[in-house]
Amino acid sequence: MKKFEIPEYYKSPIISKVKAMRKLEDPRKKDFSPTILKFGSVEFIISRHFGFCYGVENAIEKSYRAIQENPEKRIFLISQMIHNPDVNQDLLSQGVRFIQDTDGSQLISWDEITLEDIVIIPAFGTTTETRNLLTDKGVDVKTYNTTCPFVEKVWNRSAKLGENDHTIIIHGKYNHEETKATFSHSKENSPSLIVKNMEETKFLSDYILGKHSTEEFNAYFKHKYSANFNPELDLAKIGVVNQTTMLASETQEIASFIRTTMIEKFGEEQIKNHFADTKDTLCYATNDNQSATLELLNQEADLAIVVGGYNSSNTSHLVELLEQKFKTFFIKNDEEISSKNTIKSFNIHSKTTTNSTEFLGDKKTLKIIITSGASCPDAIVDNVMKRVLDLMDIPFDPNNIKL
């Protein structure tokens, strides 16, 4: 796999060693068991897979290359390059400006962008409408296009499905940049509909089986289907793709549920004419990170720490998995840890940050699970570990790691 050039300050003395060791031991990534690091009385149980994925490293390399290669030009990002506040803040500090917020709100008018400017397309990709707008202005949309190859794979698969008259069902969050981009591409080739979860999938399936009216369908999925979507005609041949950062297991569950519905509607012998197998669109990094997190559930620990941006979809799903068993703290960096008893953590359900006074407590020995999202630099995970060790009065020596 290609080795990317990313800033040295995103790398780490601890995690880099751990990942290098695991790569040598398990080059084919068959072992999802965690790595155990011992520092005195603190034991860190580190996920087998976490941190920067291929798509994120590709985006970081191209973004920083854009800065280096264009010192005299204005540089813009369509929106946040990835969902990590430290990385985005660093880009802002180097003069990069964001055209839109993550929810699509305009921060800089398109009228201000000229063909002389450098515009970076983020890892999530962008909509065909935005791409065409930039192209019409004469802006180069190819040189610094950092769209993740696995996102583009979903787009290409959707196009193939459209050529074969399939309607595209996208498992994703309607307001997420990646889902917006995927939807804009898929609707060019075929009728498209976004479902967020199993609840919406069950409503869709009930409609297919005649349990809801078309009026009820249109109201329930308002703003979530393409302009050319006719539910009475377009749900006889279906393919399911996903926002690559969603829970892979949920995407598979949704696809399986719809497949069962289509069998009930059209019969087992006709299923190949009504439902496409799209397992090949699932992102390998999302799969690996989630599989490694599921393996962590077989461990015993005092708490779990998940590090990443609070608006990161893939990171929130790691929290969702771990909190099934452990007291789990979702933090963006080490600055959220005030003391042994106080930590500011993000609640993925209420979408708010809360101060907890039940962090490390007075225990003399601790077992701590730690992982991070695909857009989180390893150096930030290092800093979290260092902060915990400091609070436990344990000296940190990266050259004296005990496995």
- Tell me the chain's radius of gyration from C-alpha atoms: 23
- Quick check: 208 and 236 in contact, CB under 8 A? no
Please state, in angstroms and rounded to a whole number, the distance separating the CA atoms of residues 51 and 314: 11
Please state, in angstroms and rounded to a whole number, the distance separating the CA atoms of residues 310 and 68: 29
Please state, in angstroms and rounded to a whole number, the distance separating the CA atoms of residues 275 and 254: 13
- Quick check: 130 and 136 in contact, CB under 8 A? no
- Quick check: 203 and 220 in contact, CB under 8 A? yes
DSSP string, 104-138: S-BSS-GGG--TTSEEEBPTT---HHHHHHHHHHT
Tokens of 48: 């087998």
Residue count (the chain): 403
Q: Does the annotation count 5 as an active-site position? A: no
- Could you say which of 177, 178, 320, 336 is catalytic? 178
370 bridge partner residues: 46, 305
Tokens of 137: 């202005």
Q: Which sequence positions are flagged as catalytic?
A: 178
